[in-house]
Amino acid sequence: MPDFLNDAQRDIQQRAHSLGRQVASLDTDSLEAHQIESETRALSKQAGIYLLTQPAEFGGTAGTSLDLTIAREALGACGVSHLPGLFGPMPGLLAQASDHVRNKFLGPYLAGEAKGGFGFTEPPDAERHTWARDEGDHLVVNGHKSYVTGGSHADFINTLVELENVGPAMVVIETNSPGVQIIRRFGSLDGTHHASFSFTDVHVPREHLIGEAGAGMKRALDQVSAVRMAIAADSLGQCSFVCDVVAEHLEQGRSSETDTGSDQAGRVQFGRMRSQSYAVRSAVYRTARLVDAEENAVNEVMASKVLATETLNLLVDVAIQIIGGEALVDSHPLASLFRRARATRLAEGPTDVLHANIARGYLDLHLGRI
């Protein structure tokens, strides 16, 4: 475990770990999805973890990047970080919106009474990016978004559009507006649910613009960067979870009559897994401290996300090889983790794309430390 945590951070660590054990003891097989979320939310609020993601001005406890990394790692180490309800919704882009938008959307969203989506990705065959025409007191939006994160049940979508003659802009679009259509809803390998949308002459009040028009891409990428950091911290915790599963398997094998050659090979692999997890932990914690210091950490966040997710996928694969066929049974924790882990290599940017961006940051933009 990383050193140099202060008393308050160690307290978060202990409370998150205790919460993780409580949530892990829930009989999730007998509960509906909404019941799991409700139970988890209640336990998290009691533990003082739920509000870490929300600013003090909205009633939260405003956890730092390091605070959130500590909490996410502890929950991931208990194998529960993927469950809904552990953290309150983050205000994200809405915190930068007009008073009208904040009053209409942000309060219900933070209270869990409304759900939001994030519309960034265009279909590969789109002739142009989703665009908006300024008509004074309102915008007229047209286009498509092929992968709206959380879109299947969203009440509104924070949408990246190209405002004609201005540039990229973020705008809040209500999903019940005339001209908004869900093309399809779909689930992904990791169990999450999303949707693709079309927008046909959708009239959106101009005050639904988030921040200054023309700065939309930066705002969108800021949110993406925050999610990448969360994925890295979750994956770090799950690396510890995988190591614990393998350790328990090796301990059980040591107490029975087994092939000592195979046992020794497993121990060598386990040692390598622990070393790789240590490297991930060092990178992710260092990056969290850079973010809290308000340093330019764009490259470091991308590198941490890549290192954590690639290592997690490697560790899960090795763990399944060590444990054998029983790890492929649906009820085994590694089987479900294998599916969730695979999705992390694509979430918020595929690994190869992030590697290319890191190269560009260093070679072309001269930003970051990597």
Q: What are phi and psi of 91, to 5 degrees?
A: -60, -30
* Token pair 């399809």: residue: 184
Over residues 46-75, mean pLDDT = 94
Q: Are 348 and 224 within 8 A, CB to CB?
A: yes
Residue 165 gets the label, from left (phi > 0), alpha (psi -120 to 50) or beta, of left
Sign of torsion over alpha carbons 122, 94, 172, 44: positive
Distance CA 204, CA 100 (A): 13
What percentage of the chain has pLDDT greater than the value 70? 94
- Whether 219 shows a pLDDT value over 70: the answer reads no
Amino acid 321: pLDDT: 95
Amino acid 198: pLDDT: 96
Query: Highest-confidence range of 1-15, 17-31, 177-191, 233-247, by mean pLDDT?
Result: 233-247
Q: Which helix (H) or strand (E) holds 248?
A: helix 216-254
Q: Are 226 and 96 within 8 A, CB to CB?
A: no
- Whether 224 shows a pLDDT value over 90: the answer reads no
Over residues 156-181, mean pLDDT = 94
Distance CA 64, CA 229 (A): 12
Distance CA 144, CA 7 (A): 49
Over residues 18-39, mean pLDDT = 92
What percentage of the chain has pLDDT greater than the value 90? 68
Q: Which helix (H) or strand (E) holds 305?
A: helix 298-323
Over residues 38-64, mean pLDDT = 93
Amino acid 99: pLDDT: 86
* Interval 129-149: pLDDT, tens: 999 999 999 999 999 999 998
Amino acid 1: pLDDT: 47
Distance CA 130, CA 360 (A): 26
Distance CA 152, CA 14 (A): 35
- Whether 45 shows a pLDDT value over 70: the answer reads yes
Amino acid 74: pLDDT: 98
* Interval 271-298: pLDDT, tens: 999 999 999 999 999 999 999 999 989 9
On the 0-12 / 13-18 / 19+ scale of CB atoms within 10 A, 187 is exposed
Over residues 82-105, mean pLDDT = 87
Residue 136 gets the label, from left (phi > 0), alpha (psi -120 to 50) or beta, of left
Amino acid 2: pLDDT: 54
Lowest pLDDT segment from 89-93, 225-229, 361-365: 89-93
Amino acid 261: pLDDT: 60
Amino acid 34: pLDDT: 86
- Whether 260 shows a pLDDT value over 70: the answer reads no
Q: For the chain, what is the mean pLDDT? A: 91
238 or 216, which is more confident: 238
Over residues 215-243, mean pLDDT = 87
Q: Which two tokens stand for residue 178?
A: 């005339």
Amino acid 254: pLDDT: 67
- Whether 67 shows a pLDDT value over 50: the answer reads yes
Amino acid 196: pLDDT: 96
Amino acid 156: pLDDT: 96
Q: Are 97 and 85 within 8 A, CB to CB?
A: no
180 or 348, which is more confident: 180
84 or 310, which is more confident: 310
Over residues 22-43, mean pLDDT = 92
Per-residue confidence at 184, pLDDT binned at 50, 70, 90? very high
